[in-house]
A = this chain, B = another copy of it.
């Protein structure tokens, strides 16, 4: 994969993760200043969900992909912030009592528990709108063509043809429609579309050629599926305190997952295979792809 020794990579990935986490927190702090009226409650709810939590995997993917093309950090970080807004939006809404009914997220009470359901619905809505505002306004000026393109793709990835459609499949597909093919399709929409966007955003910001975009898309698609298998494995084998959310719930709800269909051992092998395939797509980038390769390894090795 790369000639750089593993210790160095590990530490550069850790550094990159810490950098992005710090930058995203600072950006959310700046975007979500509390107004001096009762709508402050809405901003508090958005901050509760958005500031200081999570792995920031999507912004990290966005920035790391954009780095391949020397995109200025100010631009890739705005795109990363936009996709993180959508991700946090989806967590708030998915946690609602009418959806997955979760009380714990990132080790904190979920928004509808800490505030109330109406505030959670509105905070999710407002983060979705904020995402497109951030992406289209971009004070750091990628061209308007690039901004409009990013908005189109992100809207598609988060709407009925992407994340929202995938969540619908997850909630309403009949048990007999839960074979491996159906689960793969579901997860491509539910988590894969947004992860795919991160890589694609890097390529769009970098005005990469069609060939290069195809490779990054391929990496993103394999990574997205491996990420979901890792998530399913965590749901079965993880420590609730480390993961920061309720576990074992797929089994409780009788939901088919990669793990219930394949078993723990074959699911792990499948995730490993997907990561190998993802890394294969990085070959054209040579050693410049090493951080994305490390990220892929991290995605299946994480314990939260």
Q: How far is the CB of A189 from chain B (nearest CB, A)?
A: 8
Q: Secondary structure at chain A's binding surface: helix, strand, loop or mixed?
A: helix
Q: Which residues of B contact A119 (CB under 8 A)?
A: 168, 171-172
Given A38-B169, A148-B151: A164 and B129 interface contact (C-beta under 8 Å): yes
CB contacts (< 8 Å) of A136 on chain B: these are 136, 148-149, 151-152, 155
In the assembly, how many copies of this chain are there? 2
A164 touching B126 by the CB < 8 A rule? yes
Q: How far is the CB of A190 from chain B (nearest CB, A)?
A: 10
Q: Judging by beta carbons under 8 Å apart, are A159 and B41 in contact? A: no
Cβ-based interface call for A143 (8 A): yes
Partner of A155, one of B89, B93, B133, B174: B133
- Contacts A38-B168, A38-B172, A131-B155 given; 18 further ones with Cβ under 8 A? A37-B169, A38-B173, A39-B169, A41-B168, A43-B160, A89-B125, A125-B159, A126-B160, A128-B129, A129-B162, A130-B155, A130-B160, A133-B151, A133-B152, A133-B155, A136-B148, A136-B155, A148-B151
Q: Which residues of A contact B (CB under 8 A)?
A: 35, 37-39, 41-43, 46, 89, 93, 96, 98-99, 116-119, 121-122, 124-126, 128-133, 135-137, 143-145, 147-149, 151-152, 154-156, 158-160, 162, 164-169, 171-174, 177, 185, 189
List 21 A–B pairs whose Cβ atoms lie within 8 Å, in order of A's numbering. Answer: A38-B172, A38-B173, A39-B165, A39-B166, A39-B168, A39-B189, A42-B168, A98-B116, A98-B118, A124-B125, A125-B159, A129-B164, A130-B155, A132-B132, A133-B151, A133-B156, A136-B149, A136-B155, A137-B152, A144-B145, A148-B148
